[in-house]
Chains A and B, each alone.
Chain A
Amino acid sequence: MRRTHQKHEDQVIGFQIAPMIDVVFVIMLFFMVLAGDRQVETELPMTLPSTESNVDSDVTPMEEQVSVAVDGEIAHNDEPVTTDELKRNFQRLSLQAKAEGGAEPTPIVVTISAEPDTPWEKVTEVMNAMSFAKIGNVTFTVLEEL
């Protein structure tokens, strides 16, 4: 009777920590690889024109006009540009504003005029270029429907 009980105790499997760590490491590795390629939600922070502005009213801002057509064609100050060219233009303006303003750069205000049916993603390309050049003041207008 004692021998049977001893045999049964030998068959009992305890909590195994080594395979547990193995599995956890494999899962961790899987999620680490997955994390590098994941789609994350980002944001383009902008300031709209406001009556209660914190911007010094004595400073005249640099005003830039960008129009976006339904097919996504972009024009910067009536000059057709690609998104890469727009990025470069904005970056140049940003550097110029810093050089002119010194410690307090001259504010740049971008007015985006889009056709009524222009998809939002096409307008976002302009804002992406603004974000690239760290320009945060935007005015958004939609052209009148004919």
Chain B
Amino acid sequence: MAGGSSSIESGEPEFQVAPMIDVLLVLLIFFMSIITAQVEQLDKTIVLPVAPDARERKVDANQRTVNIRWNAAEGKALMTYLGKPWEDRELLVEELKKEAEKLPHPTMGTRLVVLLRADRLTPAKEVQAAMQVIAQVTAKVAFATHNR
């Protein structure tokens, strides 16, 4: 606003700091809210089961996320990894093995941890099928839940 009289006099619009800060804060909040889902390839359509005694999730560079979406109407489960559906489980095993090879471990074989995010209503047989895929690649698995 300082020096406003001169710009009013000249008829040229002035650069306003306050609305600029407003807009930047809104953009910041927007990006903060979407960044986790974007980076970790989380499927937001999945409703996770509740586990009050689970530990809070921390950022882990060795972790990769596999989602299991459950369509109750069709009675069908869909596994997604890296934002893509994987109908063929063997192909998913191969893809995960490539990731495992990038993270070697002297005794365990790999440092890879697979985070399994299954919808709370997914039948156990579908989750077991996903676990069979994971078990071929790594022994370390984490099951995603909600605190409440």
Contacts and interface: CB of A to CB of B under 8 A. Distances in A.
Nearest to A115: B124
A3 interface: no
Contacts of B142: 43-46
Which size class do B's interface residues fall under?
35 or more
A80 interface: no
Interface in A96-125: 114-121, 123-125
B57 A44 contact: no
A14 B139 contact: no
Given A42-B56, A48-B135, A121 B49 contact: yes
A112 B146 CA distance: 21
Nearest to B106: A54
Given A45-B140, A131-B53, A140 B131 contact: yes
Contacts of B147: 39-42
Interface in A30-74: 39-50, 52-54, 68
Q: Is the interface of B mostly helix, strand, loop or mixed?
A: mixed
B18 A15 contact: yes
Contacts of A15: 1, 17-18
Contacts of B8: 8
Interface string B1-29: 11011001000000001100000000000
Given A12-B1, A47-B139, A40 B56 contact: yes
Contact of A119 (B56, B120, B148): B120
B67 interface: no
A43 B139 contact: no
Interface string B50-71: 1111111100000000000000
Contact of A124 (B2, B128, B145): B145
Contacts of A68: 124
A116 B49 contact: no
Interface of B: 1-2, 4-5, 8, 17-18, 42, 48-57, 107-109, 113, 115, 118-125, 127-128, 131, 134-135, 138-148
Interface of A: 5, 8-9, 12-15, 20, 39-50, 52-54, 68, 87, 114-121, 123-125, 127-129, 131-132, 140-142, 145
Q: 10 tightest CB-CB pairs across the interface, nearest first?
A: A50-B139, A121-B49, A42-B54, A114-B124, A121-B120, A128-B51, A124-B49, A116-B125, A132-B53, A43-B142
